[in-house]
Structure 1
Amino acid sequence: MNAARLIWDRFEEGFIVFLLAVMTLVTFVYVIFNNFYTFFYAVGAYFSESSEGVSEFFYTIGDFILDIVQTMTWSNALTKALFAWLIFFGLAYGVRIGGHIGVDALVKLASRPVQRIIAIVACVVSLAYAGLLSVASFEWVSTLMEVSIGADDLAQFGIKQWYIGAIVPFGFALVFIRFFEILVRIIRHQQVGLGLADEAADAMKLSETEESKK
């Protein structure tokens, strides 16, 4: 069980890195091509009076790159789709690492038993929210599957809208699982709160570290 969990955790991290890398690469290639053809046009213009053959050669390369840019309308759509996957896949990852910001200054003033009860209620509400959105979004994706509409600017590659939308119910299902795990740990007295990020506490720790270095 621990081995399977470790594999999934590593896959989760690797998949997020993969999405970020592909988004960055696609955007980088598009920006390079979108600005590179002007260089060949400029060089072609420079040789236009002295050597017509050389000038035509650079103009041809510039035209070729410009044609590539004009056919890369899919790059923006792909980046948006990958960003959507990053958001909804990253929701559960944020819960796992405590990356979401917790607004619980007043809660921490209460006793630990009261904090535990509040955390249980918060978990139940979060589970209800994640479960509701997971079911609702699954019905939405099922409708997209039935109509089988191609994704904007990506249909040429056989990509359907439901391919992109499928991450929504999947992501909320993962969030449901993560909050259920937190709820179990709270009930077993292995955890008090939701384990969310505490910016105030982090700032205090950073301040104490800087003071100790002086």
Structure 2
Amino acid sequence: MNTLRLIWDRFEEAFIVFLLSAMTLVTFVYVILNNVYSFFYSLADYFAEHSEGVSEFFFTIGDFFLDIVQTMTWSNALTKALFAWLIFVGLAYGVRIGGHIGVDALVKLASRSTQRVIAIFACLFSLGYAGLLSFASFEWINTLLTANIGADDLGQYGIKQWHIAMIVPIGFTLVFIRYLEILVRIIRHQQVDLGLADEAADAMKLSETEAAKE
């Protein structure tokens, strides 16, 4: 079981890295190509007064890159789709690493047993929320699947709207699983709270570290 969980954790991290890398690469290529054709047009204008043949050569190269840029209308749509997947995969990842901000200053004033009870109720509420949205989004996906409409600027490559939107129920299902893991750890007395981020505590630790360096 631990091996399976470790494999899934590593896959989750690798998939997030892949999404970030793909977004960066697509944007980088698009921006570079936009600047490349402008560069060759500038060279063509410069040589227009000196050599018409050289000028036409650079214009041809500029036209070539401009044609590529004009066919990359899909790049913006793809970046948006990748970002949507990143958000919903990141939701579950944030729960796992305690990346979401916890608003629990008053809760921490209570005893550990009280904190544990509150955490169980908060976890059950989170499970209900994630489960409800996961179920509702599956109904939405079923509607998109029936409509079978192509995604904006990506439909020409066979990508449908439901292909992109599928991450919504998947993402909330992953969030449900992560909160279920937290609930099990709380019940087993392996954890007291939801393990969310504490900005105030982090700021205090950073302040103490800087003071120690001085």
Q: TM-score range, shorter-chain basis?
A: over 0.9
* Range with bigger deviation, 23-32 or 203-212: 203-212
**Residue 16 of structure 2: aligned partner:** 16
**Residue 173 of structure 1: aligned partner:** 173
Q: Would you identify which runs of 4 or more consecutive aligned residues in structure 1 move more than 2 Å?
A: none
Distance 1:3 1:105 in 2: 36
**Residue 121 of structure 1: aligned partner:** 121
Report how far residue 2 of structure 1 moved.
Answer: 1.1
Report how far residue 85 of structure 1 moved.
Answer: 0.2
Distance 2:121 2:52 in 1: 77
RMSD: 0.7
**Residue 5 of structure 1: aligned partner:** 5
Distance 2:183 2:106 in 1: 21
| Post-superposition CA distance 1:113-150 (Å, at most 9, x none) | 11111101100000000000000001111111111110
Does the residue aligned with 1:203 lie in a helix, a strand or coil? helix
Distance 1:154 1:128 in 2: 34
How many residues end up aligned between the 2 structures?
214
Distance 1:3 1:182 in 2: 18
Report how far residue 60 of structure 1 moved.
Answer: 0.5
Aligned-partner residue type, residue 149 of structure 2: I
Report how far residue 67 of structure 1 moved.
Answer: 1.1
Does the residue aligned with 2:31 lie in a helix, a strand or coil? helix
Aligned-partner residue type, residue 155 of structure 2: A
Aligned-partner residue type, residue 124 of structure 1: L
Report how far residue 31 of structure 1 moved.
Answer: 0.7
TM-score normalised over the length of structure 2: 0.98
Report how far residue 49 of structure 1 moved.
Answer: 1.7
Report how far residue 176 of structure 1 moved.
Answer: 0.3
**Residue 60 of structure 1: aligned partner:** 60
TM-score normalised over the length of structure 1: 0.98
Unaligned 5+ residue runs, structure 1?
A: none
Does the residue aligned with 2:48 lie in a helix, a strand or coil? coil
Unaligned 5+ residue runs, structure 2?
A: none
* Range with bigger deviation, 89-98 or 202-211: 202-211
**Residue 70 of structure 1: aligned partner:** 70
Identity across aligned pairs (percent)? 79
**Residue 85 of structure 1: aligned partner:** 85
Aligned-partner residue type, residue 172 of structure 2: F
Report how far residue 21 of structure 1 moved.
Answer: 0.1
**Residue 48 of structure 1: aligned partner:** 48
Distance 1:212 1:41 in 2: 57
**Residue 191 of structure 2: aligned partner:** 191
Distance 1:50 1:83 in 2: 48
Does the residue aligned with 2:184 lie in a helix, a strand or coil? helix
